């Protein structure tokens, strides 16, 4: 990958934003309910979950589109969703990411959803809501019309097949024919064991299990399986086959040769959505002009990042940039960062396996309550980012007499603390936008909050993170200190 590093960084830093990629497939909403398991039910031998957190994410083809948006591409989504609450929740997630849903047909069938109930880190139950029926023929016709109408407006097409009914042979055939007529590459993530459904695509991207089903060769016989995969290329008029091999990496198969990209060693928390990340990164990279081998290396790198997160979480552009470029390092004078630099610094830390903790506040007059909060924050991760209200923000929140200490001086004081790794000022009343930009692993707040009342909790939980509430030190606050000083001055008169 190194010879093309300049080209890769150009794509990541602006080139992807010029690309439009159409994703066609099975659209889903993924729900997660996390809780604590402390006892077994007296009614039946099942664990009792004490509900603590709930969040939603885009799943299936929608997650592929989210990965494209995370890379900076203009993602267009096509498929089906119902006229229901799940559709509304999913639409909010997609709109927030900038995914265009112009190709989505509202169906008479419900939006597909998967609800996972998790006790601590163990999934205990999954509840799927979907129809056993296929979409009516009229709805399929509308989907084909929308897909073929969008193909000539994009630079690549992805067929994300989860075997839920959206990608019929007719839809796949129409999309592939339209794309080939315009010279547009098509990438298919298969669920059908018969790859003829995707004949004429640029590449089909199975995992080892899917390739085993398609060829009849056992997955553990890797050499024989890859040989059989090479025969699939010519048989189904593909340019090449892209095989994801879990911890072994990714192999690209042509009829007469192979290329293998080994996986980088990385702690794996959850492989959910890794295939979506691979096909999104591969399609965008090839549409952006990278060589196949380089594009596969980049897709492999992206997959290695997302498997280090819990749940279905898309790749982010800055995470790849951080993984590709050497760390700038941090000295004692470099803790106070602007919004652009903090995003890059956090990406570097995340790529190095650090756990990012975020907390925020005015920190007008530093006192023992502040110190205790920051020390508590360090228990939850390895890097602590402090969001500091700028002067204008403090004034709006606390009144015209505040802050007592200016933002530059407050930032210098906070940066001098060993427990703080970075300080970033924000002008808004809340740090919501900053939290969305940084996507910390842990969000910490002190006081009488609940998880549901902490600003940014939904975004952090949806990204696989957690929220921690720590108690305040009774009697210590900047407001109380100001009152005491004022009372002392009055008594002195």
Going by DSSP bridges, is the β-strand pair 47-60/27-40 parallel, antiparallel, or unpaired? antiparallel
In this predicted structure, the answer to whether residue 243 has a pLDDT above a threshold of 80 is yes
Predicted local distance difference test score (pLDDT) of residue 387: 96
Main-chain dihedrals φ then ψ at residue 418, nearest 5 degrees: -65, -25
- Cβ neighbours of 183 (radius 10 Å): 6
Of the two residues 19 and 248, the one the predictor is more confident about is 19
Predicted local distance difference test score (pLDDT) of residue 81: 98
Of 69, 54, 29, give the one whose Cα is nearest residue 462. 54
Of the two residues 136 and 120, the one the predictor is more confident about is 136
In this predicted structure, the answer to whether residue 135 has a pLDDT above a threshold of 90 is yes
Q: How far apart are CA 230 and CA 473, in angstroms?
A: 66
Burial of 479 (0-12, 13-18, 19+ CB in 10 A): exposed
Q: How far apart are CA 174 and CA 432, in angstroms?
A: 43
Q: How far apart are CA 28 and CA 128, in angstroms?
A: 10
In this predicted structure, the answer to whether residue 424 has a pLDDT above a threshold of 90 is yes
In this predicted structure, the answer to whether residue 482 has a pLDDT above a threshold of 70 is no
Task: List pLDDT tens digits, range 433-447.
Answer: 999 999 999 999 988
Q: How confident is the model at residue 310 (pLDDT cuts 50, 70, 90)?
A: low
In this predicted structure, the answer to whether residue 65 has a pLDDT above a threshold of 70 is yes
Q: How confident is the model at residue 493 (pLDDT cuts 50, 70, 90)?
A: low
Q: How far apart are CA 319 and CA 301, in angstroms?
A: 10
In this predicted structure, the answer to whether residue 270 has a pLDDT above a threshold of 50 is no
Predicted local distance difference test score (pLDDT) of residue 490: 56
Predicted local distance difference test score (pLDDT) of residue 386: 96
Predicted local distance difference test score (pLDDT) of residue 269: 47
Predicted local distance difference test score (pLDDT) of residue 331: 45
**From residue 82, how far is each of 4, 65, 286 by CA, in Å?**
44, 18, 33
Predicted local distance difference test score (pLDDT) of residue 34: 79
Residue 72 Rama label (left phi>0; alpha psi -120 to 50; beta):
left
Q: How confident is the model at residue 16 (pLDDT cuts 50, 70, 90)?
A: very high
Give mean pLDDT, residues 257-279. Answer: 77
Residue 221 is classified by DSSP as -
In this predicted structure, the answer to whether residue 351 has a pLDDT above a threshold of 80 is no
Predicted local distance difference test score (pLDDT) of residue 449: 84
In this predicted structure, the answer to whether residue 352 has a pLDDT above a threshold of 60 is yes
Residue 129 Rama label (left phi>0; alpha psi -120 to 50; beta):
beta
In this predicted structure, the answer to whether residue 88 has a pLDDT above a threshold of 80 is yes
DSSP characters over 353-415:
TPPEEEEEE---S--HHHHHHHHHHHTT-SEEEEEEE-HHHHHHHH-TT--SS-HHHHHHHHH
Task: List pLDDT tens digits, range 245-256.
Answer: 988 899 999 999
Predicted local distance difference test score (pLDDT) of residue 13: 83
- Of 91, 161, 189, 276, catalytic: 276
Give mean pLDDT, residues 373-401. Answer: 91
Domains of the chain: 2-324 (3.40.1190.20), 332-492 (3.40.50.620)
Q: Retrieve residue 284's tokens.
A: 């965008």
Predicted local distance difference test score (pLDDT) of residue 82: 97
In this predicted structure, the answer to whether residue 332 has a pLDDT above a threshold of 50 is no
Q: How confident is the model at residue 489 (pLDDT cuts 50, 70, 90)?
A: low
Of 312, 402, 321, give the one whose Cα is nearest residue 32. 312
**Which stretch of DSSP H or E encloses residue 217?**
none
State percent of the chain over pLDDT 90: 61
Main-chain dihedrals φ then ψ at residue 300, nearest 5 degrees: -65, -45
Of 470, 441, 465, give the one whose Cα is nearest residue 361. 470
Helix (H, G, I), strand (E, B), or coil: what is residue 441?
coil
Contacts of 334 (CB under 8 A, 6+ apart): none
Contact present, 423 and 414 (Cβ < 8 Å): yes
Task: List pLDDT tens digits, range 230-241.
Answer: 999 999 999 999
In this predicted structure, the answer to whether residue 345 has a pLDDT above a threshold of 90 is no
Contacts of 2 (CB under 8 A, 6+ apart): none
Q: How far apart are CA 95 and CA 213, in angstroms?
A: 37
**Which stretch of DSSP H or E encloses residue 140?**
helix 137-151
Spell out the long-range contacts of 269-273 with Cβ–Cβ below 8 A and sequence spacing 24 or more: 269/307, 269/308, 269/309, 269/310, 270/307, 270/309, 270/310, 270/311, 270/464, 271/246, 271/307, 272/311, 272/312, 273/59, 273/63, 273/67, 273/306, 273/311, 273/312, 273/313, 273/314
Of 105, 6, 25, 33, give the one whose Cα is nearest residue 66. 25
State percent of the chain over pLDDT 70: 90
Mean of pLDDT over the chain: 88
In this predicted structure, the answer to whether residue 196 has a pLDDT above a threshold of 80 is yes
Contact present, 26 and 112 (Cβ < 8 Å): yes
Give mean pLDDT, residues 287-302. Answer: 93
Q: Is 364 one of the catalytic residues?
A: no
Predicted local distance difference test score (pLDDT) of residue 479: 57
Helix (H, G, I), strand (E, B), or coil: what is residue 114?
strand
Of the two residues 350 and 165, the one the predictor is more confident about is 165
Q: Retrieve residue 270's tokens.
A: 């959850």
Predicted local distance difference test score (pLDDT) of residue 217: 96
From 79-83, 173-177, 255-259, 306-310, the region with the lowest mean pLDDT: 306-310
Contact present, 210 and 190 (Cβ < 8 Å): yes
Q: How confident is the model at residue 328 (pLDDT cuts 50, 70, 90)?
A: very low
Q: How far apart are CA 101 and CA 88, in angstroms?
A: 12
What sections of 307-338 are H helices per DSSP?
Answer: 317-324
Give mean pLDDT, residues 120-127. Answer: 83
Give mean pLDDT, residues 187-207. Answer: 95
């Amino acid at each position: 990958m190194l010879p093309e590093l300049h080209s890769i960084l150009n794509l990541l830093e602006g080139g992807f934003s010029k690309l439009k990629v159409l994703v066609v497939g099975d659209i889903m909403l993924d729900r997660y309910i996390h809780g604590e398991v402390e006892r077994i039910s007296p009614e039946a031998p099942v664990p009792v979950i004490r509900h603590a957190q709930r969040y939603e994410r885009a799943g299936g083809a929608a997650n592929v589109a989210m990965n494209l948006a995370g890379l900076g591409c203009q993602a267009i989504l096509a498929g089906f969703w119902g006229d229901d609450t799940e559709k509304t929740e999913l639409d909010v997630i997609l709109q927030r990411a900038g995914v265009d849903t112009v190709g989505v047909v509202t169906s008479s069938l419900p939006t597909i959803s998967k609800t996972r109930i998790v006790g601590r880190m163990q999934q205990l139950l999954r509840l799927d809501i979907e129809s056993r029926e296929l979409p009516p023929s009229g709805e399929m016709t509308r989907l084909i019309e929308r897909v073929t109408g969008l193909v000539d407006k994009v630079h690549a097409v992805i067929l994300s097949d989860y075997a839920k009914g959206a990608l019929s042979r007719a839809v796949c055939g129409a999309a592939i024919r339209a794309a080939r007529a315009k010279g547009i590459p098509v990438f298919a993530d298969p669920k059908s064991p018969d790859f003829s459904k995707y004949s004429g695509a640029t590449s089909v991207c199975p995992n080892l299990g899917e390739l085993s089903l398609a060829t009849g060769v056992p997955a553990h016989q890797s050499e024989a399986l890859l040989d059989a995969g090479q025969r699939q290329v010519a048989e189904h008029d593909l340019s090449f086959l892209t095989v994801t091999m879990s911890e072994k990496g990714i192999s690209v198969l042509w009829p007469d040769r192979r290329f293998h990209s080994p996986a980088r060693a990385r702690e794996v928390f959850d492989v959910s959505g890794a295939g979506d990340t691979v096909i999104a990164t591969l399609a965008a990279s090839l549409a952006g002009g990278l060589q196949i081998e380089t594009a596969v290396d980049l897709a492999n790198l992206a997959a290695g990042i997302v498997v280090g997160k819990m749940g279905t979480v898309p790749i982010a552009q800055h995470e790849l940039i951080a993984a590709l470029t050497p760390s700038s390092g941090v000295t004692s004078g470099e803790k106070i960062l602007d919004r652009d630099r903090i995003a890059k610094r956090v990406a570097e830390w995340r790529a190095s396996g650090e756990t990012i903790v975020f907390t925020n506040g005015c920190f007008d007059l530093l006192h023992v309550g502040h110190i205790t909060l920051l020390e508590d924050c360090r228990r939850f991760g390895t890097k602590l980012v402090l969001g500091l209200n700028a002067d204008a923000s403090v004034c709006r929140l606390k009144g015209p007499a505040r802050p007592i200490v200016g933002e530059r001086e407050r930032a210098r004081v906070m940066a001098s603390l060993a427990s703080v790794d970075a300080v970033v000022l924000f002008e808004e009343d809340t740090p919501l936008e900053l939290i969305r930009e940084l996507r910390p692993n842990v969000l910490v707040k002190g006081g009488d909050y609940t998880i549901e009342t902490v600003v940014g909790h939904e975004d952090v939980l949806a990204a696989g993170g957690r929220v921690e509430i720590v108690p305040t030190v009774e009697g210590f606050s900047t407001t109380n200190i100001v009152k005491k000083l004022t009372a002392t001055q009055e008594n002195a008169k």
